[in-house]
Structures are given as structure tokens and as C-alpha cells.
Structure 1
């Protein structure tokens, strides 16, 4: 590949990569020298958010109550408790704290 073509290709690739909104975005801070990213997903309303959190919690409860074995051979060495811990941390980050504060303020105003 000629040097001109290579440079043009690299420029096009950079342009494509910077113009796309991927699932991960910069969180704006570093942890242990590594830039942290944040993921986002769409939720229709607060009821859907609470339903999603409830389903995730039920999944964790079922995982902890089960025999703690994965049936897939590729996952048989996975630690179910560690997986539940990561899931619970994710669920905790989903809790709608800001919405609840606003709801409390609205409730106070309506009284």
C-alpha cells in the first residue's frame, strides 16, 4: 500500500471512529491510571427502571439459592458469588437516587 493511501486510510478510520457514539463513553476520570468509561442503556420510564432492577435482584437471589454451578462448560470455573457481587454493584448504580430526591421535593410541594 502506498504511503499516501495509508495516510488517507488512517485519516478515514480516525474520522469514522470519532464520529460514532459507541456504548462506552468517557466517565471523565481515571482509576489506577486507567481512564474509566461509562455505559448507558435506554429506559422508557421509572416503572421500567424499577422493573429492570427488580428482575436483576431476583436473578441474583436465584443464583445464590441455587446449587452454584453453571451448566455451560465454558463457565464451569466461574465464581457465582463473584458474579452476583458484580451484578449487585451494577444494580446499586441503577438505583434512581436523583429521581427519588425530585419526587420527594414534588411530594413536599404538593402537601
Structure 2
């Protein structure tokens, strides 16, 4: 509840404790271009999804030693929008400059995290 996650042009996701913002509590690396969106999972407190100008959507569990759970590459242009369903556990929607909207359940969300 005191956690804010930012995505940046330096390709990093950073988790910040809002009670002490001097240093991030975690840094996630993996994207190769600027991050466009970051979303918390409504069902898993430590699970995040991010999309980037590298055409990918990545799923992370920042509580794990190897936090990158999955990379989804199904667009041919910048991925610019992302959301996780509040109603269908594990369902994700994303969109990109290739004019496609994708609705799917990534394998990392198909089973409980």
C-alpha cells in the first residue's frame, strides 16, 4: 500500500517505498527501450506487468530472486497500452502502434503465482 512503481526511459522499473523515497527498494531490468506503462496485478500483491517501446510486455514478481516471469512478443510496433482484468483472473489486454489489440492469458498467470 506504500509502494509506487515507476517505468523510465532508462529501461528500468523501480519500486519506491513512499515513506522513504531516497532509494528504490527494488530495480527491475530487462526492457531494451523506454517503458510506456506499468500495472499492478489486482490478484497478486507482488506481480507487475510492463510494456515498452521494445514491442514487448513483461511480467514480473518483484518478491523473487529472478523477478522476470515472462516476456510476450506479439506486436510489430511500439507497445503503448496495457491493463490486467479485474474480472478474469490472469487476463491481460495490450495494444500497440501496429493497430492491434491483444487479449490473452500469459502462461505465468495461468497458474497461481
Q: TM-score range by the shorter chain?
A: under 0.3
- Point out the structure with the larger helix share: 1
The TM-score with structure 2 as length reference comes to 0.23
The TM-score with structure 1 as length reference comes to 0.24
Larger radius of gyration: 1
- Point out the structure with the larger strand share: 2
